[in-house]
Amino acid sequence: MTAESLEENMFESDNPINELNKLLIKYDLTPNQAKVYLYLSKIGIKTASEISKSLKIPRTETYHLLSTLQQKGIIFSVFGKPTKFNAVGIDESIVILVNNEKNKIKELETGKESIIKLWKTIPKYTENKEKLEDNKFQTLQGRNSILVKLEQMIKESSENILVLGTESDFKKFDHTDFTNLLKKTKSELKILTDYSNKGMHIFENVPSKKIKKLDDKSREDFCFIIKDNSEVIFFISNSESKDMIAIWTDSKTFVITLRSLFSLIWKKAHHMDESHTESLLGSEITYEHRLREIEQEKNILNYLQKNFNISENKLEVKIKKNSTIKDSMIKLNHLNVLIIDDNEQITKMLTTFLELKKHKCTVANDGKQGLILIHENKYDVVLLDLAMPEFDGYAVIKALENKDMLKNNKIIVFTASTITQDELEQLVSRGITSYILKPIDIDLLLSKIIETATS
């Protein structure tokens, strides 16, 4: 290939040099600065006019680019008429650019104390007596500004760090202090991510028990990091902007919502070293399923808050004097109900509700425990969730079926899973008594329980 044809094809879209051009931008070079440097590195000594003509950059701008690159120390001029230019070797240039950035940081760190000292000499002109509430929001744009905030959150964490995102999200922070700090944190760390064998090097030093597979492929742009259940960074996908954009907030409502979503996904997800069969089970848990679970929690909690003195964090209740609950409508008291559901929030609130209605309630948060209880006790009604890790509702039904016990128990399938009407009817034909899809109004749920118990 001649020098002329090499110059013509150098920056075509399929040439690897374009990827190099993008990488050099991270070292404080503009796209055109990187382009000029790479051109000289591969072509050799050239005049400003030749560079301008080959790269189709205006001559005035070319002179400015060459001047800046000389100041950075990665190209040099060759005396003569006209002046010619050449590039420093790539290895040495990278070292120079890195050292330039290090020197900038040192200068900034040196100036820090002077700025703070000067700031303290300026008096306050007004006293702000307004109390600052934990409801702050901050928009972060650009990889560096987001990275600084992430590193601060991880370093200051004392309880837990919850990370949710895809492999491509984390690759943006590979080879930075963010991933190293995650590996070294003493806080409880939980990571939910999709993965491939080639990408797992990002978390190679993180114990596998701290990582679970995020199998919901429909949420590729969903990414957030929660610190100590007190603040969160939520990444925003914006196709119009080349820069990364994220929102940081310490809003309790926002943090609690995302924490609840994370907890639900974590419970349904599987660790990296689990079997293929277990992985298939986890893949059935969809994003819509988790939203329905959260909606069911809200329905029960809202009912309890409306009719009883109750808070989200304290399930100690007293009936309100003006409560509109019509207990006289319920002629059947003291039902013995078993709830088999891995969502502890739902089981906790349902237990509170049913006990206030004078019914006895037993809870099993996994299928195997629930099956043992069915074998050992007699229940008026069993509420059975389908989507549970390891031993799900289908496994419970199958085990009861094998022992000819399915039709001897009044089982209501109570699920947020995506399931067709035909599939539900097939379960009924096999021997379950009824079914309820989450979310459901709490009064309707109680009516269904009583109807099933008396059928």
352 lies in the same domain as 271: no
399 lies in the same domain as 327: yes
The whole-number pLDDT of residue 173 equals 78
Q: Which residues contact 39 (CB under 8 A, 6 or more apart)?
A: 7, 10, 46, 51, 54, 55
Q: Which of 238, 268, 283 is the last residue of a domain?
A: 283
Tokens read off for 181: 């700090």
403 lies in the same domain as 270: no
Q: What is the mean pLDDT of each run of 10 residues along the chain (455 residues)?
A: 54 73 87 92 91 91 93 88 91 91 85 86 69 72 86 91 85 76 87 66 74 65 87 78 81 86 81 49 51 67 61 43 41 80 84 85 91 93 86 89 90 82 88 86 86 85
Instruction: Give CA–CA dist 29/204, Å, rounded.
Output: 31
The whole-number pLDDT of residue 219 equals 53
Instruction: Give CA–CA dist 146/235, Å, rounded.
Output: 9
449 lies in the same domain as 317: yes
For residue 424, being part of any structural domain is answered with yes
76 lies in the same domain as 154: no
Q: Which of 56, 91, 126 is the last residue of a domain?
A: 91
156 lies in the same domain as 260: yes
3-state DSSP call for residue 213?
strand
For residue 111, being part of any structural domain is answered with no
The whole-number pLDDT of residue 344 equals 83
Instruction: Give CA–CA dist 37/35, Å, rounded.
Output: 5
The whole-number pLDDT of residue 74 equals 93
Q: Which residues contact 360 (CB under 8 A, 6 or more apart)?
A: 334, 335, 336, 337, 354
DSSP readout, 320-364? Answer: -TT----GGG------EEEEE-S-HHHHHHHHHHHHHTT-EEEEE
User: What's the angle, vertex CA 142, arms to CA 136 and CA 143, rounded to 5?
Assistant: 105
The whole-number pLDDT of residue 284 equals 45
Neighbours of 6 (CB within 10 A): 11
User: What's the angle, vertex CA 11, arms to CA 8 and CA 16, rounded to 5?
Assistant: 125
Q: Which residues contact 297 (CB under 8 A, 6 or more apart)?
A: 260, 343, 345, 346, 349
For residue 449, being part of any structural domain is answered with yes
355 lies in the same domain as 440: yes
* Beta pairing, strands 231-236 & 46-47: unpaired
68 lies in the same domain as 149: no
Q: Which residues contact 366 (CB under 8 A, 6 or more apart)?
A: 340, 342, 388, 389, 390, 391
* Beta pairing, strands 160-164 & 224-227: antiparallel
For residue 115, being part of any structural domain is answered with no
Residue with tokens 């591969």: 42
The whole-number pLDDT of residue 63 equals 92
For residue 380, being part of any structural domain is answered with yes
For residue 20, being part of any structural domain is answered with yes
Helix (H) or strand (E) holding 266: helix 252-268
Amino acid at site 144: N
Q: Which residues contact 245 (CB under 8 A, 6 or more apart)?
A: 139, 140, 141, 235, 236, 238
User: What's the angle, vertex CA 228, arms to CA 227 and CA 232, rounded to 5?
Assistant: 35
Give the structural domain span for 335: 313-454
- The residues pairing with 436 across neighbouring beta strands, listed in sequence order, are 414
Helix and strand counts by DSSP (H, E) for the chain: 17, 15
* Beta pairing, strands 245-249 & 231-236: antiparallel
The whole-number pLDDT of residue 245 equals 87
338 lies in the same domain as 442: yes
Chain-centroid distance of CA 370 in Å reads 31
349 lies in the same domain as 423: yes
Q: Tell me the CATH number at 24.
A: 1.10.10.10
Instruction: Give CA–CA dist 449/354, Å, rounded.
Output: 10
For residue 106, being part of any structural domain is answered with no
For residue 100, being part of any structural domain is answered with no
239 lies in the same domain as 183: yes
- State pLDDT tens for residues 317-375: 444 444 444 443 444 568 899 999 988 888 888 888 888 888 899 999 889 999 999 99
433 lies in the same domain as 350: yes
Amino acid at site 305: Q
Q: Tell me the CATH number at 348.
A: 3.40.50.2300
Q: Tell me the CATH number at 154.
A: 3.30.870.10
Number of structural domains in the chain: 3
